[in-house]
Amino acid sequence: MEISVIVPVYKVEAYLSRCIDSILAQSFTDFELILVDDGSPDYCGKICDKYASKDARIRVIHQQNGGAASARNAGIDIAKGEWLAFIDSDDWVHPDYLKMLFEAVKEFGADVSACRYKTVEDGTQVNNGSETALISAENAEEYWVKDRTGAVVPWGKLYKSELFEALRFPDGVIGEDEFVSYKVLFGCNKLIVMDNVLYYYFDNRDGVSKSNYIKLFPDALRAFAEHIEFFKNSPWQKAYRLEVEKYAEAYSNAIWLLKGQSDEESKKETDELRTKLRAYMETHKAMIPFEQRKDIYISAYPSQEIFIRGFGFIKQKLNSAFGKADT
Comparison of pLDDT for 136 and 219, the residue scoring more: 219
**Cα 61-66-72 angle, rounded to 5 deg:** 55
Contacts of 257 (CB under 8 A, 6+ apart): 213, 214
Q: Give dist(CA 196, CA 131) in Å, integer.
A: 6
141-192 pLDDT, tens digit each: 999 999 999 999 999 999 999 999 999 999 989 899 999 999 999 999 999 9
> Taking all residues of the chain, what is their mean pLDDT, rounded to a whole number?
88
Dihedral sign, CA of 188, 144, 105, 154?
positive
Taking every pair of C-alpha atoms in the chain, what is the biggest distance, in angstroms?
Answer: 73
Helix axis angle for 44-54 and 16-24, nearest 10°, is 20
Closest C-alpha to 123, from 157, 92, 154: 92
Rounded mean pLDDT, 69-82: 98
Comparison of pLDDT for 126 and 98, the residue scoring more: 98
pLDDT tops 50 at residue 193 = yes
Q: Give dist(CA 74, CA 69) in Å, integer.
A: 9
At 4, is the pLDDT very low, low, confident or very high (cuts 50, 70, 90)? very high
Q: Are 248 and 284 a contacting pair, CB within 8 Å?
A: yes
Residue 128 has a CB neighbour count (10 Å cut-off) of 17
At 327, is the pLDDT very low, low, confident or very high (cuts 50, 70, 90)? very low
Q: Specify the fold of 3-209.
A: Spore Coat Polysaccharide Biosynthesis Protein SpsA; Chain A (3.90.550)
- Whole-model pTM? 0.87
Q: Give dist(CA 244, CA 249) in Å, integer.
A: 9
Residue 166 has a CB neighbour count (10 Å cut-off) of 6
pLDDT of residue 129: 45
104-134 pLDDT, tens digit each: 999 999 999 999 999 998 756 555 444 444 5
Q: Give dist(CA 107, CA 119) in Å, integer.
A: 28
How does DSSP assign 39-93, residue by residue?
Answer: S-SSSHHHHHHHHHHH-TTEEEEEE----HHHHHHHHHHH---SEEEE--TT-EE
Rounded mean pLDDT, 255-259: 83
Q: Are 104 and 194 a contacting pair, CB within 8 Å?
A: yes
Return the domain boundaries, the chain: 3-209, 212-321
200-254 pLDDT, tens digit each: 999 876 544 434 667 788 999 999 999 999 999 999 999 999 999 999 999 998 8
pLDDT of residue 126: 53
pLDDT tops 90 at residue 199 = yes
pLDDT of residue 135: 52
Q: How many CA atoms lie within 13 A of 16 on its CB side?
A: 21
Dihedral sign, CA of 28, 31, 36, 42?
positive
How does DSSP assign 257-306, residue by residue?
Answer: HHHT--SHHHHHHHHHHHHHHHHHHHHHGGGS-TTTTHHHHHHH-GGGHH
Strand partners, 201: 119
- Per the document, the length of the chain is 327
Residue 266 has a CB neighbour count (10 Å cut-off) of 15
DSSP state of 169: P
Phi, psi of 64 (to 5 degrees): -65, 150
15-64 pLDDT, tens digit each: 999 999 999 999 999 999 999 999 999 999 999 999 999 999 999 999 99
Rounded mean pLDDT, 83-95: 97
pLDDT of residue 125: 53
* Beta-strand pair 58-63/31-38: parallel
